Chain A
Amino acid sequence: MITQTHFLVLSAALFMLGVVGVMTRRNIIIILMSMELMLNAVNINLIAFSRQLGDVTGQVFAVFVICVAAAEAAVGLGIILAFYRNKETINIDEMNLMRW
């Protein structure tokens, strides 16, 4: 029997994997992708609760989360490209000066 707890544990595990990815990797693109993992974990949570409570609000919120993730990915990748053109690096340890 699949209860709500199964989905909550799954989304918690996925969220933790995303956090580990953000904390350990140095490549900024992988960090952004781990953030997408975290957003997906949140979405799984929202939709699991939406099914449990019979309310469609959870799914509407998940649609907005996807919208925001798209906007954030576009702008974030634009920033990475602009940075790469100037400093030739995508290692987050080397992005430590406010002006070069």
Chain B
Amino acid sequence: MAEAVVFYIFAALILGFAVLVITAKSTVHSVLFLVADFLCVAALYVVLQAPFLAVIQVMVYAGGIVVLYLFVVMLVNLKRPPELHADPRRLGRLGLVMALAVFAELAAIGAYGWLKPSGFDGSLDSKNIEQVGRALYTDYLVPFEVASVLLLVAMIGAIVLAKREQ
């Protein structure tokens, strides 16, 4: 019961903030709505019994990536926002395609829900971090190391790209 209330509130907040992200006039407001969205998604992860992921989401996504977006938005502070042309025919065609895609997806989810009724084997919470850590260091060690090399490459790449030509 409490879980249902919490889920609906956070789901409404997530979708509401997502709509605001893609429709806000000012880019800074979009970024702020994105932060709020990520915080609500982190709360949803706690409901899903993944506290480690929730904290990682706040620390990396909301506290790192979106700060980067905010910096870039402030550095690229345009007076003329680039939303001048919006072709209505193109938007109409796009809307039709998106509606078809939404129906197809909902049909797929409905079919999955009907064929395989959900049974939660929820026993993840108290030792969540240990399980994730153990999995990361035993079964998924190679992807872990590759991810660290990827982050190193991305760091060097970002520094090289953003440096001014001297």
Contact = CB atoms under 8 A, between A and B. Distances in A.
A contacts B directly (C-beta below 8 A): yes
Interface of A: 1-10, 12-14, 16-21, 23-27, 29-30, 32-34, 36-37, 40, 43-44, 47-48, 50-54, 56-57, 59-60, 62-64, 66-75, 77-82, 84-85, 89-94
B146 to A, nearest CB: 9
Contacts of A51: 48-50, 120, 122, 124
Interface in B38-84: 38, 41, 44-45, 48-50, 52-53, 56-57, 60-61, 64-65, 68-69, 72-73, 75-76, 78, 81-84
A77 B75 CA distance: 11
B18 A9 contact: no
B76 A84 contact: yes
Nearest to A30: B30
29 contacts: A5-B109, A5-B113, A14-B14, A17-B15, A17-B19, A20-B22, A20-B94, A26-B82, A27-B83, A30-B27, A30-B30, A36-B61, A37-B18, A37-B21, A37-B34, A43-B53, A47-B50, A52-B120, A54-B124, A56-B128, A63-B56, A67-B150, A68-B147, A70-B151, A72-B154, A75-B158, A77-B158, A80-B76, A81-B76
Contacts of A32: 69
Q: How many of chain B's residues touch chain A, expressed as a range?
A: 35 or more
Given A8-B112, A80-B72, A48 B158 contact: no
